[in-house]
Amino acid sequence: MAKVVVALGGNALGKSPAEQLNLVKQTAESLIGLITAGNQVVISHGNGPQVGQINLGMDYAAQNGKTAAFPFPECGAMSQGYIGYHLQQSLQNELHHQMVKKNVVTTITQVVVDPADQAFEHPTKPVGDFYTKEQADQVAAEKGYTFVEDAGRGYRQVVPSPLPTRIVELDSIKALIEHGDLVIAGGGGGVPVVETASGLQGVPAVIDKDRSSALLADNLAADKLIILTAVDYVYVNYNQPTEKKLTDLSVAEAQEYIVQGQFAPGSMLPKIEACLAFVAGHPEREAIITSLSGLDDALAGKLGTRIHS
Ligand SMILES: Nc1ncnc2c1ncn2[C@@H]1O[C@H](COP(=O)(O)OP(=O)(O)O)[C@@H](O)[C@H]1O
Ligand SMILES: NC(=O)OP(=O)(O)O
């Protein structure tokens, strides 16, 4: 039996409640083999599109006098509840279908960040839907949001993405795993909070879920960190005629490829850095980056990029 933290990327979730529920059912089917093999599994997930949508909706309602204003950290917490609910229900249904008795529970997770983190000065994390330049300019003027052009696909709002330093609910997550429960935790990288003289306080930001997943996996002394995304492998010369898949990647090789700029900042780079943070100095640990549909093959060693010290 292994202790495994699985981080789910955007392609496992979707962009509307109906699409998300449908995709999450498929996600549950892909995860079931790992769970029923007797592993201790903790699932984390992204929230970029969802937290942006919730924030925009709450802003709209507040500006039209329909509700009180909802701060961004509260929107982050809502995204954890919304995605956790879909994952929890789909996993419960799939376990029931497989006649496996197991509790599934989502923990609203706060993650401490450093208020002096330079990320607060430079928003980089895309949230919400895509806009045309005209729409982005209009929303930016109305609400003061920052927008950037995102890989030729349109404009997206960006928010600060500070590094995670401590998982507040860690002891509860450990207790649930020891109890045998399937735990969904650290959703959306965790709700970012800072420590103040009067206690924890939410801050407007989105933590990278791969970095929080690596911190969680490290804190749990997990055997494996599995990052599931839209590609079967990490590649060098990605999307070029000389593209080559990486099946086995040591920390030293990965660092060399990072220097060469092989991994795109904002997409593959944080995943690689998260894996390195988890495995460096720990020969007993392994990280895998692969696709959701390729999970079973990756566990059998037939697919995916394995990262080790
Ligand atoms: N070197 C690379 N190898 C593989 N994929 C890469 C590489 N560089 C960038 N990518 C892109 O990174 C994407 C994964 O990042 P992203 O979409 O941010 O992940 P998430 O699944 O967490 O939402 C892949 O789908 C791929 O398009
Ligand atoms: N929080 C986070 O990393 O979300 P995405 O994976 O959706 O960007």
Angle among Cα 18, 19, 20 to the nearest 5 degrees reads: 90
Could you tell me which of 248, 182, 250 has the C-alpha nearest to residue 3? 182
Which residue, chain included where needed, has tokens 């898949």? 245
Per-residue pLDDT of the chain (309 residues; tens, 9 = 90+): 899 999 999 889 988 999 999 999 999 999 999 999 999 999 999 999 999 999 999 999 998 999 999 999 999 999 999 999 999 999 999 999 999 999 999 999 999 999 999 999 999 998 988 999 999 999 899 888 899 987 678 899 999 999 999 999 999 999 999 999 999 999 999 999 999 999 999 999 999 999 999 999 999 999 999 999 999 999 999 999 999 999 999 999 999 999 999 998 888 999 999 999 999 999 999 999 999 999 999 999 999 999 999
Q: How far apart are CA 164 and CA 207, in angstroms?
A: 7
Token pair recorded at residue 19:
């699409």
Token pair recorded at residue 51:
């937290």
Q: How far apart are CA 42 and CA 6, in angstroms?
A: 6
- Assigned domain for 122 exists: no
Contacts of range 301-305, beta carbons closer than 8 Å, 24 or more positions apart: 303/232, 303/233, 304/232, 304/233, 304/247, 305/233, 305/234, 305/245, 305/246, 305/247, 305/248, 305/249
DSSP letter string, 178-236: HTT-EEE-SGGG-EEEEEETTEEEE-S----HHHHHHHHHHHTT-SEEEEEES-SSEEE
**What pLDDT does 153 receive?**
81
Could you tell me which of 227, 55, 48, 59 has the C-alpha nearest to residue 125? 48
Q: Indicate the angle between helix axes 268-279 and 209-219, nearest 10 degrees.
A: 10
Residue nearest to atom 16 of ligand 1 (CA): 267
- Assigned domain for 281 exists: yes
- Assigned domain for 26 exists: no
Q: How far is the CA of 146 from the centre of ligand 2 (A)?
A: 17
Token pair recorded at residue 227:
């990052």
- Assigned domain for 48 exists: no
Residue nearest to atom 6 of ligand 2 (CA): 46
Q: How far is the CA of 183 from the centre of ligand 1 (A)?
A: 25
**What pLDDT does 108 receive?**
98
Could you tell me which of 308, 246, 303, 245 has the C-alpha nearest to residue 280? 308
ipTM over the 0.85 cut-off: yes
Please give all residues whose beta carbon lies within 6 A of any atom in ligand 2, as ranges: 9-10, 46-48, 188-189, 206, 208-209
Q: How far is the CA of 228 from the centre of ligand 1 (A)?
A: 10
**What pLDDT does 152 receive?**
78
- Assigned domain for 286 exists: yes
Q: How far apart are CA 226 and CA 290, in angstroms?
A: 8
**What pLDDT does 98 receive?**
95
Angle among Cα 180, 183, 184 to the nearest 5 degrees reads: 170
On whether the CB atoms of residues 244 and 252 are closer than 8 A, the answer is: no
Measured from the Cβ of residue 32, the count of other Cβ atoms closer than 10 Å reads: 18
Most ligand 2 atoms within 8 A of CB, residue of 125, 158, 273, 292 to mutate: 125
- Is-above-0.80 flag for pTM? yes
CATH number at residue 267: 3.40.1160.10
**What pLDDT does 266 receive?**
81
Ligand closest to Cα of 46 equals 2
Atom index in ligand 1 nearest the CA of residue 209 equals 22
Most ligand 1 atoms within 8 A of CB, residue of 257, 268, 273, 293 to mutate: 268
Token pair recorded at residue 196:
């103040």
Beta bridge partners of 235: 245
- Assigned domain for 163 exists: no
Q: Which positions are annotated as active-site residues? A: 10-11, 125, 209, 271
| Structural domain count, the chain | 1
Most ligand 2 atoms within 8 A of CB, residue of 113, 184, 209, 216 to mutate: 209
Its domain, for residue 257, covers 221-308
Atom index in ligand 2 nearest the CA of residue 10 equals 7
- Assigned domain for 143 exists: no
**Angstrom distances, CA of residue 46 to CA of 2, 52, 143, 167, 285:** 23, 12, 24, 16, 23
Q: How far is the CA of 101 from the centre of ligand 2 (A)?
A: 31
- Assigned domain for 273 exists: yes
